Amino acid sequence: MRDFVRPGARDVLDRFDDALFWHGLEDTTGCGSGLADGSGGWDADLLLWCPPGQVPVIAGWWRLAAPELDGLREPFTRHAAEPGGWITTFESFAAFLTDWGEIVTAAERRGWGIVGLRC
């Protein structure tokens, strides 16, 4: 679906997604956030984390990405919706991103870091 998203929206969403979910996955080459690897030298295949100092950057990307969500409806419906997947509709896709946006925003407000599982 990435190839069918407006470039400005794609760029900011790539950085947001890379920081929270992808960080260094093989099939996301060239889509990086530019943030330092949060592994601390560990081989953490499933666990990702962002220290408190990186959270304001990610929250800033969310503030830019959130208004772009509706523009993802058509590319998602046409190229990414899969009836057997765990995100089967645009609404569930948008809710997933929005929930993470709220987590990042709350962490920024509190001065916290973020820990999550790679999708």
Report residue 5 as tokens: 């998203």
Euclidean distance between CA atoms 81 and 75, whole angstroms: 9
pTM, two decimal places: 0.73
Residues with pLDDT less than 50, the chain: 25-34, 38-43
pLDDT at position 47, please?
66
Q: What is the mean pLDDT of the chain?
A: 76
pLDDT at position 32, please?
44
Tell me 31's DSSP state. -
Euclidean distance between CA atoms 56 and 78, whole angstroms: 33
50 and 58 Cβ atoms separated by less than 8 Å: yes
For residue 2, give the nearest of 25, 31, 22, 26 by alpha carbon: 31
**Which whole-number Å values give the CA distances from 92 to 23, 77, 118, in the listed order?**
22, 12, 18
